[in-house]
Structure 1
């Protein structure tokens, strides 16, 4: 059975998520703003939830149609085979959004879709009241220019919730975005990686998990795990494969530092929960003009403080200047920085080789990329 899926994405990271979908076996892939559509078998549900590093969640694209009136929305929703997924005891909620559509009241659209589903299921299950004590099915009704998309969320809490970051510091970077920043860099597991303003350690931890090929969702739970439509054996097989693919022999050279001792303690704790604490060298120190490079041909990836997060303008300016000085002292290094500061290149003192617009939460940022030389072929790093 082929199922139509949607993997949602942070704006600006669609190309990264598309590559993940391709690697995981998605078919008939189509990319649009904030989403990647594809098709595949039911085994995609555990596989994608377990392995997506940069995608936000996996949805079943249940139906798409146009609706210009509430009656039309009700009838077309009611005509769909909801009983194929939602069980008699299923707990289902309806969320919604509407952009540039005649049906602009989101709350009304949610109520109508919920009622339509109930009216569809009543005769199918021969009941008048649903207990909703069983598996969770989160339905979303999305309207864009009068086109309705009805989806069922297979994930539950977003995929950025890996399970290892029980503690966080101020303004943490989402794990999914951190993984994407690494993917967009030239870093590989045999090169040095350094985050000098690591906060709770997300970039370093995600890099270590990539190096060891640890599935990011391996130890967490998902809403669809309790759906009877997916045989428990499929979940067990996918999890067994994921465990078998972990490369425990890899010891990447990853360095992470921060001036805040509490942040470093948090980062160490998180790395232990992620199972990569032996792959990261943590250090409590302030990044300044004299910060040494831990080797040659390394890759620095960082999410330094910026205006909408923390830090004063003068502090940010000093950090950016020091990043430029670091590059001058270490010409073999590559630098990747995400920030909302539009003066970043000027303050660093060099124009980026490439930059990409993306959103960190609701904050519009740029990902500045400075490409250093490739390591010599006979070099082990």
Structure 2
């Protein structure tokens, strides 16, 4: 593979959020992006892989499809994997590990297939390690062997600046896609009245400020033979940061959550544009300035067991929003449509189910109240 020869790039999505991720990719200039099961596919070279990791807010990880061939038995897999040009992608001083899945293929034993591919890598002088950060994902599907390299490393929701999280936090990748689904573009205020560790508020502020989500972290692709540190540095320097015209607000009845949110906003470099305060739902009021978006991920009761108190909480939230937040739109993420109904808010039809922490959640949103 040469530096700029195009290949398939696969953006892994949170199940149920493939469509907004595709829209984000197209908006970011990846014009051929299209939805397929499990994510979004597009074509490009290594610089496009680096840029996708740097700028896309909704992808969980980014895989580069580095090659494929047919194999109907292990000896054939062995021979073709040994002939594969591993040195074009991998370095001889960086260990890798191999993951294999087999579906509908004559090669059905993933363990035996893994051994053959590891043998081919060793023959090419590529070191192996069980705890290697660099992963070669091999899919054998209908006798087609596809090699992909996980170019992200740690999941992309780990932006690199959030240390403090509370229980069952909303992942940054999901928060960004829910904001997008609610029509948020960065030019209106956002308020999260149950802000937890501040994810919605911080993501909104970053979007408004034009900050790249991957600006402060490292990626697995930096350990590949194809990596060009100068091109990467130039790419990061191209960020068009700006001062948002509005502020982004979070409140929580828990003082620890407020401190956590402030610390996370500080590390993310958005503290100047975010405001967090300790307040129960009954005390929230609209901040000065234009109407915007209320974005909230209230407790669902899945881990609490007893949902009865939650109906009162959702009811109070709905009452406060209807009475005080005229002109604001509302987005609520919950696993329970009964709880959403308890708000008595005029919701549009909910989103399709989205996987979140072993549950299926939906986004319920309103037009301006």
Same fold per superposition (TM over 0.5)? yes
Matched, 1:246 2:241: yes
Could you say which residue in structure 2 is the equivalent of 1:4? 8
Instruction: Give TM-score scaled by structure 1 length.
Output: 0.86
For the pair 1:337 / 2:311, whether they are aligned, the reply is no
**Matched-pair contact (CA < 8 Å) for 1:90–1:136:** no
Deviation at 1:326, TM superposition (A): 3.0
Offset, 1:102: 5.8
Q: Is residue 353 of structure 2 the alignment partner of residue 365 of structure 1?
A: no
The within-5 A match list for 1:78-157 is 78-98=82-102, 103-119=107-123, 121=124, 130=127, 137-144=134-141, 147-157=144-154
Per-residue displacement from partner, 1:251-294 (whole Å, max 9, x unpaired)? 43211011111111111000000000111110111213x53233
2:35 aligns with 31
Whether the 8 Å contact between 2:26 and 2:32 is mirrored in structure 1 is: no
Question: Aligned partners of 2:28, 2:345: CA distance in 1, in Å?
Answer: 38
1:209-262 per-residue CA deviation (whole Å, 9 max, x = no partner) reads: 0000000111111121233422221111111112xx111x32432110111111
Q: Helix, strand or coil for the counterpart of 1:238?
A: helix
Which residue number corresponds to residue 321 of structure 1?
315
1:50 aligns with 2:54: yes
Hey, what does 2:211 align to over in structure 1? 214
Residues 131 and 164 of structure 1, relative CA distance in 2, 3 Å threshold: closer
Alpha-carbon separation, structure 2, partners of 1:258 and 1:105 = 51
Q: Can you give the 5+ residue segments of structure 2 that lack an aligned partner in the other structure?
A: none
Structure 1 unaligned runs (5+)? 123-128, 374-381
Q: What does the per-residue CA deviation read over 1:107-165, in whole Å, with 9 as the maximum and x for residues that have no partner?
A: 4443333223334x15xxxxxx8487xx9631012345555432101111111111111
Shift of 1:372: 1.3
Deviation at 1:317, TM superposition (A): 1.2
Q: What TM-score, normalized to structure 2?
A: 0.89
Whether the aligned pair in 1 keeps the contact of 2:63 and 2:151 (CA below 8 Å) is yes
How far, CA to CA, are the matches of 2:362 and 2:88 in structure 1?
A: 43
Higher mean displacement: 71-80 or 25-34:
71-80
CA RMSD of aligned residues (A): 2.5
Does the CA contact (< 8 Å) of 2:197 and 2:260 recur in 1? yes
Number of aligned positions between the proteins? 361
Q: Paired residue for 2:167?
A: 170
Q: Is the 8 A contact 2:107 2:143 kept in 1?
A: yes
